[in-house]
Amino acid sequence: MDSVVSSRKAGARDRTARPLSSRRESARRVVQDVVRDRFLYLLALPGLLYFLIFCYGPMWGLLISFKEFNMYKGFNASPWVGLGQFVTLFRSTDFGAKFLNTLIISSLKILFGFPAPIILAILINEIRVRWFKKLTQTVLYLPYFVSWVVLSGILTVFLNPSDGVINFAIKAFGGAPVDFLHEPAWFRQVIVASDVYKNVGWGTVVYLASMSGIDPDLYEASWMDGANKWKQIVHITLPSIKGVIVILFILNLGNILNAGFEQIFLLYSPNVYPVADIIDTYVYRKGIMNASYSLGTAAGLFKSLIALVMILLTNAAAKRIGEEGVW
């Protein structure tokens, strides 16, 4: 009997000792990996610091969306109002229109901007003249590196109703000049088209990198079987990059309420407020210009929660259809 009890105690000691030793072994391996790859971690350090300082660090300030924040009283002395700011936000007469504008503009950007780099990457991938392929890539990438401040100035000049290049061509064909940036019927089209023009080249980088990993023997075998270019794209290229497409689509849906503050802020005017005023511009006016910091923060938090829900739902949908998803 004593031997049985002693053996059970020894087994219990072994079970408690093993997890402790395994944790120490895991910690030792982590330290070894960090020391071994220290230069890689140093390369990643600026990016990590950026997110820690500018993304995670300011998150404590979200608490003012639950307070009646007064900058003279300070953060701690401002009274707690719970969900009062959100009630005020949703009951405001103009927030619904801003929310709808944000959804429409973001949806149009995803509808036209998401498939554009896929199509462009496939076309570039089919170019066989090497110098022309590199030239095409460079020309298409350049707009991405131009800031919206510069690009908005170029658009303003090009779309000027009196002497802009676009209206000059319209008048040359007998049409009437159009004030694209001040007419509500045209403003959204300009926003979507300019966004696609600026970002489509850079979006092809990921897809071209993914296509470079496709085995060329697959194309040769399909060609021997009589498959033309279209069938090769449908049955080889697109299935090979399907995982990348799904991941980027999930991330794009996570930005469904990011309609592009800088772009719209630089191009819109009071004439197009009914179709162009979005949540971000609303937050700017309410939170900064009118000093309603709590209300502006509540609107921003609401937008972030919607983005989180969209990412969770689309990631779950991707898992259900057999894709890996983001995590």
CATH number at residue 279: 1.10.3720.10
Q: Is residue 19 part of a domain?
A: no
CA geometry: angle 246, 252, 257, nearest 5 deg: 150
**For position 5, what pLDDT does the model report?**
43
Dihedral, CA atoms, 310, 311, 317, 322, nearest 10 degrees? Answer: 170
Residue 214's beta-bridge partner residues? Answer: none
pLDDT in the model for residue 116: 93
Q: Is residue 26 one of the residues assigned to a domain? A: no
Judge whether 130 lies within some domain. Answer: yes
Q: What backbone phi and psi angles, to 5 degrees, belong to 67?
A: -130, 165
How far is Cα 115 from Cα 269, in angstroms, rounded to an integer?
Answer: 30
The predicted pLDDT at position 83 comes to 87
pTM for this one?
A: 0.79
Residue 202 placed within a domain:
yes
Phi, then psi, of 80 in degrees rounded to 5: -85, 130
What sign does the CA torsion over 120, 122, 123, 128 have?
A: positive
pLDDT for residue 50: 92
- Residue 43, both tokens: 């390369």
Q: What pLDDT is recorded for position 81?
A: 86
Domain that holds residue 307: 85-320
Could you give the CA distance from residue 60 to residue 63 in angstroms, rounded to a whole number?
Answer: 6
Q: Which residues of the chain have pLDDT under 70?
A: 1-21, 322-327
**Residue type, position 13, single letter:** R
Residue 125 covered by a domain: yes
Angle between helix 184-211 and helix 95-113 axes, rounded to 10 deg: 40
Total tally of structural domains belonging to the chain: 1
Q: Residue ranges of the alpha helices (H) in the chain? A: 2-36, 38-51, 84-91, 95-113, 115-125, 130-141, 148-158, 165-172, 184-211, 216-224, 229-232, 238-240, 242-254, 261-267, 273-276, 279-283, 293-320
Domain annotation covers residue 42: no
pLDDT of residue 325: 63
Query: What pLDDT does residue 326 have?
Result: 62
> Other CB atoms closer than 10 Å to residue 158's CB: what's the count?
13
R_g (Cα) of the chain, nearest Å: 27
- Three-state DSSP class for 321? coil
Which residues, including other chains, have CB under 8 Å from residue 324's CB and lie 6 or more apart?
243, 246, 247, 318
Residues 6+ apart with CB under 8 A from 255: 106, 307
* 22: number of Cβ within 10 Å: 10
